[in-house]
Amino acid sequence: MIRTIRILPLVATTALVVGCSSAATVSSVPSTVPATPAPAATVPTTAPAEAWTQSDIFKGFDPMSIDLQGYTPGPNGEHSTAVADLPDPSAECVAKIKGENLKLAFLSSAQITWFAAIEKGVRDEAAKYGISIAMTADSNFDPAKQASDVETAMASKPDILIALPNDPVSAAQAFKPALDAGTTIVFYDNPVDGWTAGKEYVTISTGDHYRMGMKAADLLAQAIGENGTYGFIQLDVVFYNSNNREKGFLAEMAQKHPGIRNVAWAGFTDAATVGQATDAMLSQHPDLDGIYVSYSGGPATAVLASLSAAGNTHVKVVTHDLDAANDVVMATQGSNYFGTAIESTYLEGATTVKAAVLSRCGVAVPPFVVVPALSATRETLVQAWHDGLHTDPPADVLKALGQ
């Protein structure tokens, strides 16, 4: 999820502010190169730059430079470690942890499907080691509220604190009470500026963002074919997770699907502006074949609503994350919503607890641990809920699937 930030995060529909307007901006490039007379033997006209190059976030980014077979870099350039390579605690370690009757505080950021799956993974893994959940809180992506939540959590004297830092810049101060108390701190998704894994915190557990982006690109190609045009609707802030997902997406498009061109771009900091941006995009490019939007929930909901209002059944949408409401649309035969790329969300939560246990047993934990990327279409949606979230899809989704 929206999940990464120098300001407020991602997966939610909350307004984000980062020194740029909260209104979405829409830009486009011609879908065809204007015809101009040319004498024989001249060099062919070069196609215009893709529209995403107008994004300040990706200034100077070269999608051909990304090694899509390599590792997803951490927020400080760390090499990622696959969760499958993280060792299991020894029998002696498990016995030690169970004998300590540890308490854990879990800090969420929103009451949405993604965070619910993270928390389920945390709770189930903690139960394996006899760790009790002393406190949970939901900050609604508000850094000030999260700082207050940390203070409240520390009143219960937790041995382990697991959280997604809402704002990496201010989070060092917000989490200082836990650090001063000697609490074992594990983060999911986001870093804290100036903090180092193995020192102030154990590790970051998150998705394999490059590969999530790659899967989204492959879904778009599957939906519209290897030749076509698409719009790119981007969370237009410096936010580690979404930025890297989108780098993976753009790299996969350039390297594997060069026949699909990005002809329109929109950046948003407030999901409430995405509908208007989509309307403008569709008006400027009536022959558009697809749309990539940064994440499900608010932004994808707005895109799908705009397409529905326009009576447009042609454009296919791809995004990230599973979402109860939008997945009903995906489950509906012939809908605009083709697919989504996700991480193994439940496993991401469970991994935070495993990392804390290993650390408390004196085992060195890699600084940046990634869980596998998955993808879902109508045909694989139920399995994606099982694999990614460890739960059944909502009844409305199953009904739309005819199950």
pLDDT digits (tens, 9 = 90+) for 96-143: 999 999 999 999 987 778 899 999 999 999 999 999 999 999 888 899
Q: Which CATH number fits domain 81-207+345-371: 3.90.700.10, 3.40.50.2300, 3.90.1150.10, 3.30.70.360?
A: 3.40.50.2300
Residue 111's pLDDT is what? 77
Closest to 345 (Cα-Cα) out of 247, 241, 192? 241
Cα separation, 204 vs 75, in Å, equals: 10
90 pLDDT more than 60: yes
- φ/ψ (deg, to 5) at 310: -85, -5
pLDDT of residue 11: 36
Neighbours of 73 (CB within 10 A): 16
Mean pLDDT, range 331-342, rounded to an integer: 97
358-379: average pLDDT: 97
Output 331 or 237, whichever has higher pLDDT: 331
Looking at per-residue pLDDT, the higher value among 248 and 36 belongs to 248
Q: Report the candidate in 14, 131, 111, 16 with the shortest Cα–Cα distance to residue 6.
A: 16
Asked if the model's pLDDT at residue 7 lies above 90, the reply is no
Give residue 237's pLDDT band: very low, low, confident or very high (50, 70, 90). Answer: confident
Q: Average pLDDT of the chain?
A: 89
Question: What is the mean pLDDT of the segment spanning 147-152?
Answer: 96
Do 49-70+209-344+376-400 and 81-207+345-371 show the same overall fold? Answer: yes
Identity (one letter) of the amino acid at 303? V
Q: From 65, 19, 25, select the one nearest 234 (Cα to Cα).
A: 25
Q: Each residue of 191-221: pLDDT tens digit?
A: 999 999 999 999 999 999 999 999 999 999 9
Residue 40 has pLDDT above 90, yes or no: no
Q: Which fold has domain 49-70+209-344+376-400?
A: Rossmann fold (3.40.50)
User: At residue 243, does pLDDT exceed 80?
Assistant: yes
Q: Which residue has the tokens 């120098």?
A: 6
pLDDT of residue 103: 98
- In whole angstroms, what is the distance from residue 344 CA to residue 216 CA? 15
pTM beyond 0.95: the answer is: no
**What are the structural domain ranges in the chain?**
49-70+209-344+376-400, 81-207+345-371
In angstroms, how far apart are the furthest CA atoms of the chain? 84
